[in-house]
Structure 1
Amino acid sequence: MKYLLSIFIIIQFFSCSQKTTINETYYYSIFDEENNVKGYFKRIITNNKNKRVDSIFRYDKQKELQNTRLEEFSIKEGVVKSSNGRDLLIISKKDSCYSHFSTSNNEYKSCYLGKSKLNLTDMAYDNSYKFLITEIITDGLSNYRYYDEDFVLLRQEYKDGFLDYYRIDRVNKIEGLK
């Protein structure tokens, strides 16, 4: 019995030590129509195999924390799906669109527009994934989203709807964010 218990403990220890959890931190600046900074985001991503949890911290332009939220994703072979149903990113073919519903029963339309070149202030990407995401409600809200090869947001840019223009760009670092 002791022998079996010892083997069980060793197997448990070995399997726990084999889990690969990776944490990455990304920074974003939020811009208005005149390219003025309106605020910041910090996104801490925890990857564990095909599951990802994003901890998102939103700051005002004085770098004071305004709110936080968690987003969970499953990622499998060109398909990214959020647990709240708001995001469904599918890379199948250029100009393909998919409708889906969030857990709050809002309808979204996600269109893969193909690979795109993207130049940000601190970096350039030759093959970012470009999507048009539309929330199907009375006034609707559409934005373009660009992702890197790991489906981490590079840019989100307002297209149309009932909000003022905004653009969120990934940057290398933002000094003073806690």
Structure 2
Amino acid sequence: MDTDEHGSNEIAEKIIGCVYRVANGLGCGFLEKVYENALFYELTKAGLEVKQQHPILIRYEGVVVGEYVADLLVEGRVLVELKAVQALDDVHTAQCINYLRGTGLVVCLLINFGRPKVQIKRLMGPAAMQGHESGTTDEHGWTQVRVVQCPNSGFTIRVYLCSSVVSMRFLHHG
């Protein structure tokens, strides 16, 4: 289980750079597997350890009761789920959250190459919030657990928790 959010986020930033190289090189319109293979190549070229079609076993009382397959696992710490669809859906987000719950990992990148501009959604699992104090809960049931100031960009990132889902909201104060 990876609870080192900082290390996972550094890896995620490298992955995102590779994603943009693939998106710029291929554009949109290909099948998901084409993007998976191209991203695998870019990540490997960048010196990252990558596993394709990584199995995630779901256990109940010690018994394997299901198996998911993540598109990519990078450095054993960051899951990458790829799509080539017109629009990301809540089902895609739920898929990533289940991957995070099943592995105990902190970060999953949900990436959609199906649009002219690549979409990247960074999801954080419940393990990311271990050791953080909870704040107040808003009218929608979201609890603010952390606020991060980004001095170079002028952005404030507010991290919220709702049940087992962690969301980051980016607010610009410029």
TM-score past 0.5 threshold: no
Structure having the larger proportion of residues in helix: 2
Which is higher, the Rg of structure 1 or of structure 2?
A: 1
What's the TM-score once normalised by structure 2's chain length?
Answer: 0.29
Structure having the larger proportion of residues in strand: 1
Which of the pair has the greater relative contact order for Cα pairs under 8 Å at 6+ separation? Answer: 2
